[in-house]
Amino acid sequence: MQVKIQEDNFLHRNRYTIKGVIVGFLILIMLIPSAFIMNLVSERSERQQEVAKEVSSKWAGAQTLTGPLLVVPYSESVQDKDGKINVFEKFAYFLPEHLTINGKLQPEIRHRSIFNIAVYKSDITIQGDFAPLNADKLNIAKADFHADRAFICMGINDFRGIEEQLNIRWNDSSYTFNAGVPDDAVITNGVNTAINLNEEAIAKINRFTIQLRLRGSERLAFTPVGKTTEVHFSSPWANPKFDGSFLPLNIPEVTETGFDADWKIQHLNRNYPQSWKNEKYNIAASDFGITLLQPVDSYSKTMRSVKYAILFIALTFGLYFFVEILQKTAVHPVQYVLIGLALSIFYTLLLSISEYVRFNIAYAIATTATVLLITLYTKGLFNKWKIALLFGGLLAMLYSFIFILIQLQDGALLFGSIGLFILIAIIMYYSRKIDWYGKNAIPGKANVALS
């Protein structure tokens, strides 16, 4: 009998410690549904990307315009070990002296299932000129330089985006482009047209103009092949991302009604010359352009909120633990699990609702539903509206705190650290008088439930 009383006294004195360990274990257990929810968010995000690829495959993918380039065949004689002379045909490449691209990008939203996919149409004018061709600079003899078989190449990623017959105005003549490129050392996907250059044309500046109507998805980019490349583009899309090797010359004007952006790139800003032969340059690495961002990426925000799930569950369980101690009302571990599941279901609500409405509205709906559920459940546990409403208010504050963290980018760490510091300070203040060691426990009265 004496041993039983001593055991009861030990359990009574250490009941808070034991319950704290149980609550901590339950917090770790609740990581399991959080992990499943993160996988679910990833699956939905991947599904959206699959739908975007499907739409792009039927409309046209991301487009990159390269050129035009002037390609001239030349003959190169090589003597083999037997003294025999072999003649090979190779290509010399010439880039424009000046290249100006002006265009307007018109976005469209295509709906597939519950997903919205951004595509675009664009009207583009490409103008510029080629300097007189200097074959001597490339160590090509005049007799080996076949300018009469020259051709113009222009790189276009996805031919499905070409809406109309594509022509080039070359000085006073007009030529029609054909699909494919005779030489893919520089441009792997594109169009070409033959240009017959006589001696007079070789020695003068040749001007060109190309009118192009092009469809695409997500991104439109350009390769700065001109000795001086200038690009001006505008669009009613209010959420552009300027990416690639070069940013706009000045801060782009981006408003709710769209954007205007200008680039100016010099040949010294890139790693390839204006003319060459027998070399391969990765000119695509110097491209730059515009990416159409979706106004609200609900999946990335939902994923960020799920990453705070362990913090949210720990704080909520901690609040319940302190209320349990202060009110001297036992909360069973199963009840903690039910509360944790309610907190986890918040994220599935947020994910599913945000696929139909704006993320902020979805967050408000999911928060309201979860706070009401847990508030009513708390009323049932402690049988006091004051505690239930206080708990509901604290939950609403926590959800608001997490919402602000989700919205912030660079300041999230600072704001979160300050918020957690204040929260820990409050917990330390209100827990300072709790008898953790049970020093004031009355022997023989160890009848408080551990559950």
- Residue boundaries of the structural domains of the chain: 9-46+299-430, 62-295
Q: Which residues of the chain have pLDDT under 50?
A: 1-3, 443-451
DSSP letter for 441, please. Answer: P
Joined together, the tokens standing for residue 418 give 């300050």
Cis preceding linkage at 333, omega within 30: no
Is the torsion defined by CA of 30, 33, 36, 41 positive or negative?
negative
DSSP letter for 26, please. Answer: H
Tell me the C-alpha distance between 177 and 192, whole Å. Answer: 5
199 membership: H or E segment, kind and range = helix 199-202
Tell me the C-alpha distance between 42 and 303, whole Å. Answer: 8
The three-class DSSP label of residue 121 is strand
Tell me the C-alpha distance between 192 and 226, whole Å. Answer: 18
Joined together, the tokens standing for residue 280 give 């391969």
Tokens 């790139």 identify what position? 265
Joined together, the tokens standing for residue 404 give 């602000």
User: Which pLDDT score is estimated for 307?
Assistant: 84
90 membership: H or E segment, kind and range = strand 85-94
What CA–CA distances, in Å, run from 28 to 32, 35, 38, 104, 337? Answer: 8, 11, 16, 54, 11
Nearest to 127 by CA among 257, 232, 10: 232
Tell me the C-alpha distance between 391 and 447, whole Å. Answer: 27
Cross-strand pairs, 91: 73
Q: Are 213 and 123 in contact (CB under 8 A)?
A: yes
Tell me the C-alpha distance between 358 and 11, whole Å. Answer: 51
User: Which pLDDT score is estimated for 88?
Assistant: 82
